[in-house]
Chains A and B, each alone.
Chain A
Amino acid sequence: MTVRWHGNAVNAKIMAAAMDGIGEAAEIISKKWVETIPYATGELASHVQPQKTGDHEYTISSTGPYAIRQEVDASLRHPDPTNPASRSGRKAHAGRDALANNEKNIEKLITAKIKASLR
């Protein structure tokens, strides 16, 4: 009997599938974030993008004036009563919540990707 060990190939397949899943998850989180990110000029929303920032890492970020303050300052009103262009349905913690509310979905997505890659 001959036993062939494909451990390294399997590891590589799993990692590739996981990274594929994480990439897709980053896209999903970005879309969810854009749905609730504070919106007046559209600058914050237009800058939300996922980026591969490491071998096993994606970062989703936004840039623009007051980006951090818009994310963490719950005293800001949405819509901003002083800015007619400001939209309702937006909130502080939009990025944090988009990620946290989808943790289980991300886990399921990556699990499914890995399972499919091993069939």
Chain B
Amino acid sequence: MADIGTDVAAYLAAQGYGIWKNANSSLNTIFLDEFQDLPDNQIVLFTGGGLEPDEVQGSAAAVDYPSLDVQVRNSSKATARTKAEEIRVLLDCITINDATLYNASSAPVYLGRDDTNRHRFVVMFTVVKERV
């Protein structure tokens, strides 16, 4: 069982949003946890602790609620915004393996430009994942 970031990265790549884990790493455009200096246009997924799990005393079963943020960086502000919104709609209420994603925001949030003038937008999700 992969973690949710890995699962979603693979899903986004399969949907044509970028390249994930290519044998030639310089071609990759989807990453986990941290931005790479290049390429300019990339998508990075951040998994966070999220909310407290629901647990039942005496049972190993539980429901976890990690958070997942998808940041879209692009040298074009309009492209970054459009891609972020597309991903927000694409991933809402979708189940990938054993986790279901729900939008935690109703629109992409603009994070400004980085040091080299590349624009970033973020869309946020709450993940519901059953632990059996």
Contact = CB atoms under 8 A, between A and B. Distances in A.
Contacts of B52: 101
B51 A100 contact: yes
A101 B51 contact: yes
B71 A75 contact: yes
Number of contact residues on A: which range applies? 10 to 19
A91 interface: yes
A73 B111 contact: yes
A75 B50 contact: no
B34 to A, nearest CB: 7
A100 B51 CA distance: 7
B104 interface: yes
Interface in A59-80: 68-69, 72-75
Contacts of A24: none
B51 A74 contact: no
Contacts of B50: 97
Name the prevailing secondary structure of the B interface residues: strand
Interface stretch (B41-49, B80-88, B91-99): B41-49
B53 to A, nearest CB: 11
Interface in A62-119: 68-69, 72-75, 91-93, 96-97, 100-101
B68 to A, nearest CB: 9
Contact of B44 (A72, A75, A101): A75
Contact of B48 (A69, A93, A101): A93
B111 A91 contact: no
B111 A69 contact: yes
B40 interface: no
A72 B48 contact: no
B49 A91 contact: yes
Contacts of A92: 48, 69
A73 B122 contact: yes
Interface of A: 68-69, 72-75, 91-93, 96-97, 100-101
